Amino acid sequence: MGDAPLSTLEFLGGELRRARRDRGLSQEELAQRINYSSSLIGMVEIGHRTPSQDFVGRVDAALESGGFFERLLALVRVDAAPPWLREWISVEAEATLIRWFEPSLIPGLLQTEAYARAVLTGGGMLRDAEVEQRVTSRLSRQAVLTRESPPEAVFVVDEAALRRRIGSPAVMAEQFARLLELADLPQVDIHVVPADAGMHPGLAGPFILARTTDGSEIAHLDNQLRAHVTDRPDDVDSLQRAWERVRGEALPRRASRELIQEVARSWT
């Protein structure tokens, strides 16, 4: 573990600590100058929290670093996605249609920061810096839903994903507020497969189908180690059939929203 390469997030944190000390400032003194908490500065300095654009802008002004930390943050965001996921991110960014099924978790494009962090820390397999990098990557990917000319995005989740506690009840309450907010977007549909649907093909695992600008269909599947991206016709056809079956089991949009609202009340 001690021999793990330094991440760009950890590098940014180390440079912040160095620059702060060179200015003769404590964490508390810098916190007063930028109007952020000293505890957040400490977390950033050890690579356990990704700073916001506003945070690094204020740091650059306070330390007179000429935009150095804003440039470092840009590198952190570029480097945030694991290499094995980058192929899919490029597909997702150009998709005209995204169809996503999840049996056990809220889909990544719909997750709040707190929910995403709870998911990524829950398995205990990632270092804190790796968790932060992946949270940064996941949140950056969500811009696809609100960009100019966004794709049509259809999400189907199993009811179990709504009822599984990830993090605290407050994390879940915030996540449900986010779900309902996104469900109001005209290009976003969220459907729920009710628990009484019983066995259905989606229980074999999550999958995503993306349609590109040239009409091609590309599929994404996750496993314990990495993502698998394929455009093989047999694979895509099989997943399209699974999608149709799963979508057929799901509640209509309005009924899905009512179920989401019902479950949301259990987290408040």
Share of the chain above pLDDT 90, in %: 66
* Poorest-pLDDT segment among 24-33, 81-90, 199-208, 257-266: 81-90
For domain 83-266, say whether CATH 1.10.3470 is its number.
Answer: no
CATH class of 8-79: mainly alpha
DSSP 8-state symbol, 50: P
pLDDT at residue number 1 = 42
Residues 229-262 have pLDDT tens digits of 999 999 999 999 999 999 999 999 999 999 999 9
How would residue 3 be classed by pLDDT, with cut points 50, 70 and 90?
low
With b for 16 or more beta-carbon neighbours within 10 A and e for fewer, the 64-74 pattern comes to ebeebbbebbe
Share of the chain above pLDDT 70, in %: 97
Q: Hey, do 8-79 and 83-266 end up sharing a CATH topology, with the first three levels equal?
A: no
- Choose between 248 and 137: higher pLDDT: 248
Q: Is 30 exposed, middle or buried (0-12, 13-18, 19+ CB in 10 A)?
A: buried
- Whether 185 has a pLDDT exceeding 90, the answer reads yes
pLDDT at residue number 150 = 93
SS3 content of the chain, % helix, strand, coil (to 5): 60, 15, 30
pLDDT at residue number 4 = 64
- Whether 2 has a pLDDT exceeding 60, the answer reads no
pLDDT at residue number 62 = 96
* Poorest-pLDDT segment among 55-69, 72-86, 253-267: 72-86
Segments making up each domain of the chain, as ranges: 8-79, 83-266
Three-state SS for 9? Answer: helix
- Whether 167 has a pLDDT exceeding 90, the answer reads yes
Give the tokens for residue 241.
Answer: 């059939």
pLDDT at residue number 134 = 85
Question: What is the C-alpha to C-alpha distance for residues 4 and 10, in angstroms, rounded to an integer?
Answer: 11
- Whether 114 has a pLDDT exceeding 80, the answer reads yes
Question: What is the C-alpha to C-alpha distance for residues 184 and 69, in angstroms, rounded to an integer?
Answer: 36
- Whether 20 has a pLDDT exceeding 80, the answer reads yes
